[in-house]
Structures are given as structure tokens and as C-alpha cells.
A and B are shown apart, each in its own frame.
Chain A
Amino acid sequence: MAKKKLSRKARENLIGYSFIGIWIIGFVVFMLYPLFTSLVYSLSNVQITGTGIIVTFHGFQNFKNIFQIEEGFNFTEALVNFVFKELIFQLPIILVFSILIAMLLNQKLKGRGFFRTVFFLPVIIASGPVIKELISQGAGGTNIFETYGFIAVIEDTLNPMLAEPIVKIFSEIIIIFWFSGVQILIFLAGLQKIDRQVYEAARVDGAGAWQSFWKITLPALMNLVFVNAIYTIVLLATFSENKVIVNIKSNMFNFRTGYGMASAMAWIYSLSVLLIIGLLGLFARILSRRRRRGY
């Protein structure tokens, strides 16, 4: 009659799942099932009718179309521009800027709290429409750099291939800096964990500030550089004014492309982003292995 008492192990399983069960349900309903469905969509012709949605399988036609019709060309162009004209420049700018600011804020200063508040402020206000509005009013950097003739100098001296992305970066440089709010604080937290005595010992041994940075600070921050790099990539890749995202969204409601081709594009985009993060992970791994071997 008595219910057999569950073993300790089984009980712990039960309790554990009672806490995370809701996540599993949510993951299946809102993530796994949609991921699978979007894979099906990308291989199908999806038509929306008054009564519902008709999905007819037609193989890789959507993927082929990306290289055949105009909407597809626009998408690939947006994707290539995002990776090679934006991400590749913006990622290092954001990482270097946030390390620099974190190091400045790590000094013993009066008003440290004030500056910390200033540098985190953009996280509070940087939404897609707000940033779009600011850039369109020239407040993203154009105003400053144009008055000093800086942009004209770049356009005159460099060849157009290189000048175009660089001018674009300078006209939005402040906004690019604005993506570093969270990363600055993460680096700052990392810097505060480094024992100051290590720096003092290095100084006694004759190391300058420059050497201390490369031999002590940077290696100690390396893991956080990786974390922040991933965070930055995700931030830039999901930013709602990102041209690729805008492009995919507009193709959803374009009758020539529809959900099917938009899904195919979404998959190409997602895999590209994951590939970039994967390459970064591989790079970080090689780097840490070399460091451990003592090169």
C-alpha cells in the first residue's frame, strides 16, 4: 500500500526537472519546433491563402533562387557588406575601445562613478529607431568629422574601394562606440580581479607600462576578450537596423519570395553568424593552447 520511497537519485532528478521543466517546454515550443519548421520552409514553396498556409516541398529551389533572382542578389550583397564592410571593422574597434576605456576607468580617480555612468548610458537608449534617427541627423559622427575636413581627406587620399567603408565608419563612429557599454563593464570587472602586486613586482623588475599591458593585463583578460567578442558579434548581428535582417524581413512579405525563400535566407544568415563565432572559438582555442605550452 505504501508508495515506495523514491531513491535519492530519482528524487533529485524529479526536483531538478520540476525547476527547469518550464524551460524545456518553452525550448521545444518556441525554439526547436520553429527551427525545424523553418528548415522545412526553406526547402518548400510556402503560400499563404485565405484559409491557411500551403507548404509544398520543392528541394533546394529557394537556395538556388538566391543566386538567380534580384531579391537574392540584394540579400547576398547585404550579407557580404555586413560581414566584410561592417563586422570586420567594427568588432576590433569595439573591443579595443572597450579595453581602453575600462583601463582608464580602472585608475584610482575621483568621479570614477560618473564616468562609468556616462560610458554605460548608450545601452539604455540605443534602440534601432533611435540610432537610425541620430545617424540620419548626422549626430553619429558626421557633424564632428566633416567640420574638420577629415572625411574629405580620406576620400581624396585612399582609393574608393577602401575609402567607402572607412568614411562610413567615421560617419557612424560614435554609434559604433555606443555598442561597447556592456563590454566596458565586463572588462572593468576583469581588470579589478588582477592583483595590483603583480604590476608592482613587474615594475621592480624594470617593466614599463607598455610591457605590463602586453605581459600582464592582456593575458589576464584573454578569456573576457573572447566572451566580449561573441557578445559583440551577437549584438551587431541581431541589431534591428542591420541590413541583412531588414532584407530578410522584407522578403517575408514579398510575394515573389515569401516565407520559403525568407527562411532559406535566414538559414544562410544564421549559419554565417554561427560560422564566424565558430572560427573565433577555434582561434581562441589555438591561442590558449599555445599560451599553455609557453610560447
Chain B
Amino acid sequence: MLTKARKALKNKQIYKKAKTFLFGNNVKSGVLYKVIIYLLLAAIGFIYLYPVLYMLSNSFKSPSDIINPMVNWIPTAFYFGNYQRAFRVLNYFPTLGKSLLVTLVPALLQTAITSVIGYGFARFDFKFKKPLFVIVLLTFIIPPQAYMIPRYVMFFEMKLLENPLAIILPSLFGQGLNSAIFILIFYQFFRMIPRHLLEAAEIDGAGTYYIFFRMAVPLSAPAYITSFLFSLVWYWNETYISSLFLGTAFPNLQIALANFVSQYQQMYQSDAIKLNEGIRLAATLLIILPMLIVYFALQRWFVEGIERTGITGE
């Protein structure tokens, strides 16, 4: 009788232990729970990346693989013909150079200028500071369409259309792509620097600009890196302004992709291989490749940057 009760108790303990192991308790989560989370993340992750994987797989398929229904994910042989053609149609390296010019330069300028503006708002009390800051934030939600047409006319009259300066100039004045976000990031970041640190330097006789360049800027390196990377990526992927101001006369990679079909037909008019999805996807991959490299080299700065810059607000 007693042994039976003891056995039942033991069974109960085993059951309880197993339950904790699988489902977790108040302190830590169980294995089954974790497995489910992993499966969920893996499944959603796969669907999420499906377009990229599809692009990768199809860009290496030869024309016969593409029409062959038996070939699914893995091509029968790695075929580089698609890339060769896409490379030539896009006129890759010269176009890449143009892209870098209208991406790197405004991104660098925007980061530098918005940091100066952000510092001004974070450190000094001047007249109309609050309303001006509200206007800065409001510029983020005003759709660009409302001011793009006159800007276009303005650049037309200044003879700056189809000229990279049309993209670069606004960033020089803190009016670049999403400038408001960067001003906010720098504002938040500079406010996190302990005030007494900068005040101590002031008492020691350091000038305002000395303090900014020699103390605040070096202390804020993470904000600079994150802002620059976001600016770079946003400028790279921006096509509304660049197609309006640069057009086909100064095509960057994105514009070249948008015109890929007609350009291909022009170049390979009498060719045996008609434009297929393999070639188009190879071209698409070539467009995203430079930023993919940047991302995989520096991804920590992207994903951790958002937390570190304190944009989520205190």
C-alpha cells in the first residue's frame, strides 16, 4: 500500500519534471515551447526570404532550366549567362559609379549637416526653438509631391536637372531624404551626453565649436555610423526623386533596372535568347548586390543602431 503511494508520488514528480522541461515554468521556458518558437521563426523567415531565394535560384538557371518544370530550386548547372547579359545591358560599372555619386555624397553630407543641426537643437536654448523643432518633425510627414514640382522647375531654371547636384544640394542644407529622422537621432543622442561633462570643458575655456568638434562628435561615433548607413541605404533605394531629377539622361542603377526590359530588347533585338525571368532576376540581384555586401559586413550597426540611438524615445 505504502509502496504504491510512493510510486504514484514518484510518477507525479516525473510527470511534473517532464512538464517543466517541455512547457517551462515561471522561471524559464521549456524545450517544446522553444522548439515551437524556432519552427515559427524558421517558417516565417523562409516565406519572408522567399523572393530573395527565388531570385537567387532563378538567376542561375539556363533558359532550358527555366522552362523545365522538373527543375525546382536547384538548377541542373550553374549558368552565368544571365549575369553576363544583365551586366552588359545595365552597363554595370559606369552605372554603379553614377549610383555611388548620388548615394555616397548626399549620405555623407546629410549625416554631417544633420548632426550639426541636431546638436543645435539639443544643446542650446534659443528663441523659437520649440516651434522650429516641431516644424523639423513635421517635414517628415509632408508628402514630397507637395513641393517636388516647383523644386523641379527651380532646378530646371538653375540648369541643374540631369545633374547630380539636384540630389546633393538639398542634403547640404539639411533637406535631404528623411532628414528629419536624422536630426531627431542626433538630437536624442547629443542629449544623452552628460551636460556637466561639456560644461566642465566650457569652464576650462573651451569654445563652443571646439566642444562640438572635439568632444561631442567623437563621443557620438555610433550615431554617425548608424545615420550614415541608413542614409546610404535610403538614398540607394530612392527612385522617385532620382527618376524625376536625373531621368534617363543620368541613369543610376535603379533607373537602369526600371528601363531594363526596353534596353534589353534594344541590345539583343535579333538574339536567339529572348528576355526571360532568369535574366531579369539576375539584373535585380546585381542592383541589390552592393547594399547586400554593405549589410552583411556591417549588419550589427543597422539592427542595433535603432536601439542605441534612442529613437524609441524616453
Which residues of A pack against B, CB within 8 Å?
12-13, 15-20, 22-27, 29-31, 33-35, 37-38, 41, 52-53, 101, 104-105, 107-109, 113, 115-130, 132-134, 137, 139-140, 143-144, 174-175, 177-178, 182, 185-186, 188-190, 192-193, 200, 203-204, 223-224, 227, 230, 234, 237-238, 240, 245, 248-249, 252, 259, 262-263, 266-267, 269-270, 273-274, 277
Given contact pairs A22-B116, A190-B312, A234-B141, A31 touches B48 in the complex (Cβ within 8 A): no
The reply to whether B149 and A266 contact each other, CB–CB distance below 8 Å, is yes
Given contact pairs A19-B120, A23-B173, A31-B175, A130 touches B288 in the complex (Cβ within 8 A): yes
Residues of A within 8 A of B117 (CB): 19-20, 22-23
Given contact pairs A15-B124, A134-B51, A129 touches B147 in the complex (Cβ within 8 A): no
Q: Quick one: closest A residue to B294, CB to CB? A: A124
Whether B237 sits at the interface, judged by CB under 8 Å, is yes
Whether B258 sits at the interface, judged by CB under 8 Å, is yes
The reply to whether B146 and A267 contact each other, CB–CB distance below 8 Å, is yes
Given contact pairs A127-B254, A137-B54, A121 touches B49 in the complex (Cβ within 8 A): yes
Instruction: Report how far A211 CA is from B37 CA in the complex, Å.
Output: 19
Tier of interface size on chain B: 35 or more
The reply to whether B147 and A34 contact each other, CB–CB distance below 8 Å, is yes
Instruction: Report how far A27 CA is from B114 CA in the complex, Å.
Output: 13
Whether B208 sits at the interface, judged by CB under 8 Å, is yes
Instruction: Report how far A117 CA is from B302 CA in the complex, Å.
Output: 9
Fill in one digit per residue for B262-302: 1 if any A CB lies within 8 Å of its CB, else 0: 00000000000000010011011001100110110001001
Residues of B within 8 A of A189 (CB): 306-307, 312
* Further contacts, 10 of them, CB under 8 A, given A104-B41, A128-B240, A227-B313: A30-B147, A33-B150, A52-B157, A108-B29, A113-B303, A124-B294, A133-B280, A174-B48, A177-B48, A266-B145
The 8 closest A-B pairs by CB, nearest first: A26-B173, A19-B120, A16-B126, A16-B124, A127-B237, A34-B147, A37-B150, A34-B150
The smallest beta-carbon distance between A243 and chain B, in angstroms, is 13
The reply to whether B147 and A38 contact each other, CB–CB distance below 8 Å, is yes
The smallest beta-carbon distance between A213 and chain B, in angstroms, is 15
B interface secondary structure, majority: helix
Residues of B within 8 A of A234 (CB): 140-141, 143
Listed stretches B11-19, B74-82, B127-135; interface member? B127-135
The reply to whether A118 and B48 contact each other, CB–CB distance below 8 Å, is yes
A24, A122, A240 — which one has the most chain B CB atoms within 10 A of its CB? A240
The reply to whether B124 and A125 contact each other, CB–CB distance below 8 Å, is no
Fill in one digit per residue for B247-269: 1 if any A CB lies within 8 Å of its CB, else 0: 00000001101101000000000
Residues of B within 8 A of A269 (CB): 143, 145-146
Instruction: Report how far A275 CA is from B196 CA in the complex, Å.
Output: 43
The reply to whether B37 and A119 contact each other, CB–CB distance below 8 Å, is no
